[in-house]
Amino acid sequence: TQLLEQSPQFLSIQEGENLTVYCNSSSVFSSLQWYRQEPGEGPVLLVTVVTGGEVKKLKRLTFQFGDARKDSSLHITAAQPGDTGLYLCAGAVGNAGNMLTFGGGTRLMVKP
Amino acid sequence: ETGVTQTPRHLVMGMTNKKSLKCEQHLGHNAMYWYKQSAKKPLELMFVYNFKEQTENNSVPSRFSPECPNSSHLFLHLHTLQPEDSALYLCASSQVPGGLPRGYTFGSGTRLTVV
């Protein structure tokens, strides 16, 4: 059973469009992170959200943590080809809080 | 050199071979991890080392053997692998003060093909 479900799995859009990807779970997480992975590389951390209801903005990217700390969303405004990649959410588990469980990812392609 | 470095980037090995993957971090982190990334599957945690001590073995077959000689280096020794072990193996490091994780820094991975 996958702890974190991401949707959609694949998304292909034109440059300039807006999009939202979702990360859902039945479990509560102390924190949740979003990573982006490009082909041939490891994931790179985009943001960490900690407080229920928290909203963080990173240029054209807006991240939200659900009030109950079970879900999160990533919204991209005016997508660009450089946004293309695999977006992964990850929740902190384990007693030390340093083990991450990852969702299956959303593969985004932004066409020029 | 900074960040997390993994070598080799690509590896092709036969099922009877023995090989090792290497990971080195220059970030002063005290926790290191091995993850497996297969097509159409989420990243799977394999091993966790906190302060050089293995704290997690996520039901990984014994043909995978980790080694952490110090807080900067992590190895994954491979022997008698199966074709289904072909995947991207990612190493990561993080700082663990206890409590909230501050995010992993990943290496670029080793693309392993077992033939």
Local confidence pLDDT in tens for the 112 residues of chain A: 458 999 999 999 999 999 999 999 999 888 899 999 998 899 999 999 988 999 999 999 999 999 999 999 999 999 999 999 999 999 987 666 677 889 999 999 999 9
Q: Quick one: which of B54, B55, B12 has its CA closest to A95?
A: B55
Q: What is the pLDDT of residue B8?
A: 97
- Return d(Cα A40, Cα A51) in angstroms, integer: 33
- Return d(Cα B70, Cα A3) in angstroms, integer: 32
**Mutation for B interface: A35, A48, A98, A101, most B CBs within 10 A:** A98
Does A96 contact chain B (CB < 8 Å)? yes
DSSP state of B84: G
- Return d(Cα A33, Cα B92) in angstroms, integer: 15
Count how many residues are written for chain B: 115
- Return d(Cα B99, Cα A31) in angstroms, integer: 10
- Quick one: average pLDDT of B10-15? 94
Q: Which residues of B touch A (CB under 8 A)?
A: 4, 31, 33, 35, 41-43, 45, 48, 50, 55-56, 90, 92, 94, 96, 98-109
Tokens at A66, concatenated? 């659900």
Matching residue, tokens 């289904």: B84
How far A25 CA sits from the closest chain B CA (Å)? 14
DSSP three-state, residue B46 = strand
**Mutation for B interface: A5, A7, A99, A102, most B CBs within 10 A:** A99
pLDDT band at B1 (very low <50, low <70, confident <90, very high): low
Tokens at A83, concatenated? 């946004």
**Model confidence pLDDT, tens digit, residues B34-92:** 999 998 788 999 999 987 777 777 789 999 999 999 989 999 999 999 999 999 999 99
Q: Which 56-95 residues of chain A touch chain B by CB within 8 A?
A: 88, 90, 92, 94
Task: Tell me which amino acid residue A90 is.
Answer: A
- Quick one: average pLDDT of B96-114? 82
- Return d(Cα A71, Cα B109) in angstroms, integer: 28
E-strand stretches of B9-85: 10-13, 18-25, 31-37, 44-50, 53-57, 64-70, 73-79
Which residues, at least 6 apart from A21, have a Cβ–Cβ distance to it below 8 Å? A6, A7, A8, A11, A73, A74, A87, A106, A108
Is A28 within 8 Å of A68 (Cβ atoms)? yes
